[in-house]
Structure 1
């Protein structure tokens, strides 16, 4: 079988997990390969994500490594067996590979935690807001901007699909004060935040400038957690590339940061909030910002 020349994040994660399991079990590449009648070079290629591993050999190898977590084993098997196709496949020639990797990663998640500093989370953006986001990225390529907007709209379908994933958002107040899309768009965007926060699987909190406690050091990040927690992924989105953190120490660190941010942020928006409730919460702050945008 020919070795891969392009490796997706899903394929990369499969190889990383196999190497981690082998090392934790105390096997060399040569000894582990011998367990499934495979040479060391071929197993090295598998761990480097250059090629795959058939389900029967995978099951045998996991058993020899001492794996007993059935949920983990099943999800790892899915990573290895998947052909990587989904709704995002229709955008293959229209958006970047990193966008395709993101869509595939979040599609496997059962829950997602997202912290944003300067922008509204992509899952919650109106098309007009997204368009303003990408205008500078593709100033002379209208088709690229349109494709990016359509791709983001498709990504947002996971908010309300049949899987009912749990979403938690902590948004810094700075993101709510940005006027680059124009005041009319920002008014509509803030109203959209209030409306979508009423969905039972979505929690939105605002981290205000006036927070009395020191926030943990953190730029924007996303935690995608499938049913098997060890297969969670932390995604750091940079200007030119996205960084995928998959080691357990990093995952635990960012989980802790998100919990700290959630604890010091304003209380979440709730569907049953009374209009007369004057307590300081995320709903109240957004309403205040809406009032300022009317001036």
Structure 2
């Protein structure tokens, strides 16, 4: 089978975890290849997410690596055997692959924690708000590219809706609530949408602009819970795109950062009242 030309972030993560297990066992790819009647090049393809791996091979590798973490092995097997074609696949070839990767990651999340500073959370954005955000790109997007982005953003809400919804908590800076990405009508409708999401049971906490001691303007993140903490992921946006971070040291750092940011935020009830107040001012 030919190597994948463009593996998904989930496929890459499976390969990364298998590589980490091999390295923890102190083995080289060529030493493992013989176990599977394979080659070191093929092992490298699996670890890069360029080639699939069966349940049987995942279990054989885990046993060979003396991995005693049964929960981890089962989680890796689930990743290897997942054949679900999610709604995001409709956008393959239409939107950049990272859009699909984010949606897939959210779909499999056990929980979602987000910190936003300048824009309201993407999972809460109204069509007009999202259209204004994507419409600000340089070079300007034609309608044929802009509208699929807006539609995709709205469909991502499936991750936090329904019986299997992931628990979602957002920490929103006051700046994000007050910036007029479009006009006042759009801004007010967006705030009312956030209030409706709170009524639906989602947690939103606000960091007031005048709270003392908050120097976390660069703290924006999406923290995505995996089936176990080792398989958590952090998403960070930058001018160069979205980065998927999953090294244990990185995860530990962002867990601590989220807790630190959380301390600067109002409680959920006070936050709801704060958003009401800002909406009335518009």
TM-score, normalised to structure 1, is 0.89
Distance of aligned partners of 1:263 and 1:61 in 2 relative to their CA distance in 1, 3 Å threshold: same
State the alpha-carbon separation in 1 of the partners of residues 159 and 5 from structure 2: 30
Query: What corresponds to 2:77 in structure 1?
Result: 77
Partner of 2:174: 173
1:111–1:224 contact (8 Å) kept in structure 2 = yes
Deviation at 1:216, TM superposition (A): 4.3
The answer for the alignment partner of 1:51 in structure 2 is 51
The size of the alignment, in residue pairs, is 281
- The structural deviation recorded for 1:107 is 0.8
Could you tell me how far apart the structure 2 residues matched to 1:283 and 1:48 are?
A: 44
Cα offset, 1:292, TM superposition: 1.8
Structure 2 partner of 1:158: 159
Give 1:13's aligned residue: 13
Q: Write out per-residue CA displacement over residues 94-144 of structure 1, whole angstroms, 9 at most, x where no aligned residue.
A: 221110111111111010111111001000111111111112237351122
Distance 1:283 1:212 in 2: 20
* 1:286 aligns to 2:275 (yes or no): yes
Q: Is the 8 A contact 1:62 1:73 kept in 2?
A: yes
Between stretches 15-24 and 38-47, larger displacement belongs to 38-47
Are 1:88 and 1:103, in contact at CA under 8 Å, matched by a contact in 2?
yes
Please give the per-residue CA displacement for 1:246-273, whole angstroms capped at 9, x wherever unaligned.
111101111111111112211114xxxx
- Paired residue for 1:117? 117
Contact 2:204 2:272 in 1 (8 A): no
Q: In structure 2, what is the Cα distance between the partners aligned to 1:247 and 1:213?
A: 29
Secondary structure in 2 matching 1:197 = helix
- 2:249 corresponds to 1:249: yes
Which residue does the alignment assign to 1:275?
none
1:195 is displaced (CA, Å) by 1.7
Name stretches of at least 5 consecutive residues in structure 2 with no aligned partner: none
**Contact 1:111–1:165, Cα closer than 8 Å, also in 2:** yes
* Rounded Cα–Cα distance in structure 1 between residues aligned with 2:19 and 2:264: 38
1:15-57, Cα deviation, whole Å (9 max, x unpaired): 1111111111222222223333333222122112221222111
After superposition, give the CA deviation of every residue in 1:156-188 in whole Å (9 maximum; x if it has no partner): 122212213110100111101111221011111
After superposition, give the CA deviation of every residue in 1:66-89 in whole Å (9 maximum; x if it has no partner).
223333222212222334621011
**Structure 2 residue matching 1:115: 3-state secondary structure:** strand
Q: What is the distance in 1 between the residues matched to 2:183 and 2:166? A: 32
Deviates more, 1:150-159 or 1:68-77: 68-77
Aligned residue for 2:268, secondary structure, equals coil
Q: After alignment, is 244-253 or 42-51 more displaced?
A: 42-51
Preserved contact between residue 128 and residue 186 of structure 2 (Cα < 8 Å): yes
Question: Counterpart in 2 of 1:184?
Answer: 185
Asked if the contact 1:159/1:165 (under 8 Å) is kept, the reply is: yes
Q: What does residue 264 of structure 1 align with?
A: 264
In 1, are the aligned partners of 2:126 and 2:190 still within 8 Å (CA)?
A: yes
Under a length normalisation based on structure 2, what TM-score does the superposition of the two structures give? 0.93
State how far apart, in whole Å, the 2-side matches of 1:192 and 1:232 are: 28
Residue segments in structure 1 that go unaligned for 5+ positions in a row: 270-280
Range that drifts further, 252-261 or 206-215: 206-215
